[in-house]
Structure 1
Amino acid sequence: MFYLPSKEECDYIVENSKQFFRKDFEFLGKEVAVYHYKQGDFEEFKKYNAWELRALTFIKNDGKWERFLGIHKFFELNQAPGWMVEDLIDKKIIKVQEKIDGTLMQPILIDGKIYFKSKLRFDSYQALRSNEILKKSPNLKEFILKCFDEGKIPLFEYVSEKSQVVMDYGKEALILIQVRDLKTGEYDLEFEKKAQKYNVECAPVCEPKPLRDYLEEKEVCVSKEGWVLIFEDMKFVKLKTDEYLKRHKILGDIKENNIIQMALDRNIDDLYGILNPKSEKYEYVKEIHELFNKKYHNLKRDIKKALKLPKSEMKKRFANHPQYEVIALCHKRKDLSELDEWLKKQTKKLKGAKKFLERE
């Protein structure tokens, strides 16, 4: 059911499609080749039968390439042909898992030892932290080694307060999301039973209700990213909650201009409200917000000084001010009523925001 390409077939795909790429490097003296994609164009995946080229990893041992699977590529509901509501509405769902909003982690077995890898790297923050979790979790190590002994690979999501994506789980953890057969690619749909014996945390399993029920639930659920729905023909489908999509829109592109716009609109508390105070994103937002407040306060102070001066004196004193335009505008209006709208226009784009903050 799952076609697992050889390294030669992966190389052919990379050579013939601009969508896919290979990253070559050495790790612990071993040659490594990782295959992934730049865009998620459905037609390219279909054309090259390249569904497995998602963090697919090959390690060279004794002259032979050993293959380590990731999660095969699948789409969100209504994102691609075959994943549309009308394609799935009457199909039977056999398993539903809560979708974990973290970083996909693969355990790679090298000379009998486990090393975690994120999609492309062994040295990412998430991979290094996963290795630290492993060191302190003998049960987890035993479970992973048992899976490899059985010819399977367990796959995890790493979550932490520091590396918050969108959802805040309030902890650092490796959460088991799937177990796959390394030779066939088949998914173990009951891996939770074995994992529980080793006290390994798994993604919560939900009731396999009809798709119609989950379409209703996604509109009101606020506590999770969404679900992975597995249908009887083994089609995997991502279904995200409306609340998650709303939060993702806010957090997905946190840059200086967006932070300034939210501050001027007086709704930046919405941003702080969905960020863990220990996360890097929170620290970044706080840094930019405080810098903006300082610049904004200083500009208001200068405008208030300018308002007390005659026009000729104002021009002479503030002619070289980086925000002279708005100072002159407010002086003409004799108040600060135009300041916020002027700033919103000037900082709407990233370049303008960085210029105002002097972060160019």
Structure 2
Amino acid sequence: MDLYCYAGTHAFFNLADDPELFAAAREARGIVFAGEEIVSRPYHKFFNAGEHAEYPVHVPEEHIIRDGVVLEKLDGSMIAGVQVGNSIFWGTKMWADEFHHEISQFDDGKYEEFAKQANRDGYTPIFEWVSPKRKIVIPYEKENLILTGMRHKETGAYLPYEDMVSYAGDIPVVQQCSKDDLMEALNGTDREDMEGYVVRHPDGEMLKVKLDWYVAVHEYASSRKAILKAIHDDKIDDVISILNRYEATRSLVAEVEALTKDFGKFVQSKVDEIVGMVEDRKHMSRKEFALDIQGYDKYWKPVLFQVRTEQENGGNLVLLADKLVRERAGKILG
């Protein structure tokens, strides 16, 4: 079988001027072929409000809603129930095995039977897997596999929400929300117990609307590098303020404060090391100095030479070393 999944969202924007190629590229989100047969067709790539020209930042709200159904956006992992021989494989868009094992242990058999029937009827059943062990931002209390969509493998058409609810039987289905809820979100009203909304139109087009609090928190809850960059950019007070604002992320504040201290210790240690090395070799010529530090870390070696020059000019070695160490640490953090 052949799996196609995009490696970076930049590809979609490069293809935006070619509608046919753009539509084809949006299918590369975990679609699976066995020869010429499509065996799994999960969601096509769709965008956040303001992320793409289809739905610019200032798009009229009535166009976002149109005749669509508003659904809760769950904070988990997309899972497709794929028929492989006589069994069902629970696959993410990259077919991560650990999710398959988790869901197989969770399922008492009803999900597998449901997925087999859906596949027999020509559909890929699409779920969201939420679990305390897989927390992103929202702290779900228990594991659950929630049906969010059913897509025809050949045509790509999505089963309408009402029909999907009827088809699901006792399988949990994503909650439908009111258009008033969505309008409040578009107008900046936050609620801290959900990620946002998905608007699904009858033609299959979809749009994500993430709540402001989730967008702000997700960056720091899911990326230590983002926290370290904020520390480097001297914006950590703003980050702590954001995290303290929401119950779901207050527990991260202690970790952020610890990382801030660790970064400060790293900078101080590196500055002391570099200044000490330069001071210990002040009696050497530049050629002797260069030969003596040949084995030093290549990434930090330029700082040694710059601090050595500052020494020759009678400048403040500690001040320059601190500035240069922070700059190079910032490059590592992106």
Short-chain TM bin: 0.5 to 0.7
Identity %: 21
Match for residue 331 of structure 2?
A: 349
Matched, 1:238 2:208: yes
Match for residue 133 of structure 1?
A: 103
Matched, 1:153 2:127: no
1:96-141, Cα deviation, whole Å (9 max, x unpaired): 11112333222211112011222133xx2xx423333223312222
Aligned 1:35-46 pairs, distance under 5 A: 35-38=4-7, 39-41=11-13, 43=16, 46=19
Q: The residue matched to 2:116 in structure 1 has which SS?
A: helix
Q: 1:74 aligns with which of 38, 46, 65?
A: 46
Match for residue 56 of structure 1?
A: 31
The whole-number CA distance in structure 2 between the counterparts of 1:213 and 1:233 is 25
Residues 87/264 of structure 1: CA separation in 2 closer, same or farther (3 Å cut): closer
The whole-number CA distance in structure 1 between the counterparts of 2:88 and 2:32 is 14
Deviation of 1:57 (Å): 0.8
Residues 224/343 of structure 1: CA separation in 2 closer, same or farther (3 Å cut): farther
Q: Check conservation: 1:226, 1:238, Cα contact below 8 A.
A: yes
Match for residue 99 of structure 1?
A: 73
Residues 66/229 of structure 1: CA separation in 2 closer, same or farther (3 Å cut): closer
The whole-number CA distance in structure 2 between the counterparts of 1:76 and 1:338 is 43
The whole-number CA distance in structure 2 between the counterparts of 1:313 and 1:148 is 72
State the one-letter code of the partner of 1:100: L
The whole-number CA distance in structure 1 between the counterparts of 2:124 and 2:250 is 32
Matched, 1:197 2:166: no
Q: Check conservation: 2:158, 2:204, Cα contact below 8 A.
A: no
The whole-number CA distance in structure 1 between the counterparts of 2:142 and 2:232 is 29
State the one-letter code of the partner of 2:78: L
Q: Check conservation: 1:261, 1:348, Cα contact below 8 A.
A: no
User: Given the two structures, how large is their TM-score scaled by the length of structure 2?
Assistant: 0.67
1:182-214, Cα deviation, whole Å (9 max, x unpaired): 34323231223443514x3x3332113486444
The whole-number CA distance in structure 2 between the counterparts of 1:161 and 1:276 is 17
Q: Check conservation: 1:96, 1:228, Cα contact below 8 A.
A: yes
Match for residue 11 of structure 1?
A: none
State the one-letter code of the partner of 2:158: E
Match for residue 175 of structure 1?
A: 146
1:234-265, Cα deviation, whole Å (9 max, x unpaired): 4311111112222244356542x851642784
Match for residue 112 of structure 1?
A: 86
Show structure 2 runs of 5+ residues with no match. Answer: 284-288
The whole-number CA distance in structure 2 between the counterparts of 1:146 and 1:115 is 14
| Alignment size in residue pairs | 298
Residues 120/346 of structure 1: CA separation in 2 closer, same or farther (3 Å cut): closer
Q: Check conservation: 1:104, 1:158, Cα contact below 8 A.
A: yes
| Further displaced range: 40-49 or 265-274 | 265-274
Show structure 1 runs of 5+ residues with no match. Answer: 1-31, 307-311, 355-360
Q: 2:20 aligns with which of 37, 44, 47?
A: 47
Matched, 1:65 2:37: yes
The whole-number CA distance in structure 2 between the counterparts of 1:77 and 1:264 is 28
Residues 349/35 of structure 1: CA separation in 2 closer, same or farther (3 Å cut): same
Deviation of 1:177 (Å): 1.6
Deviation of 1:333 (Å): 7.7
The whole-number CA distance in structure 2 between the counterparts of 1:207 and 1:345 is 49
Q: Check conservation: 1:160, 1:169, Cα contact below 8 A.
A: yes
Match for residue 309 of structure 1?
A: none
The whole-number CA distance in structure 2 between the counterparts of 1:171 and 1:262 is 34
The whole-number CA distance in structure 2 between the counterparts of 1:237 and 1:89 is 13
Residues 83/260 of structure 1: CA separation in 2 closer, same or farther (3 Å cut): closer
Deviation of 1:168 (Å): 4.2
Deviation of 1:58 (Å): 1.0
The whole-number CA distance in structure 2 between the counterparts of 1:210 and 1:277 is 28
State the one-letter code of the partner of 1:187: L
The whole-number CA distance in structure 2 between the counterparts of 1:346 and 1:44 is 38
Q: 1:142 aligns with which of 113, 121, 131?
A: 113
Match for residue 29 of structure 1?
A: none
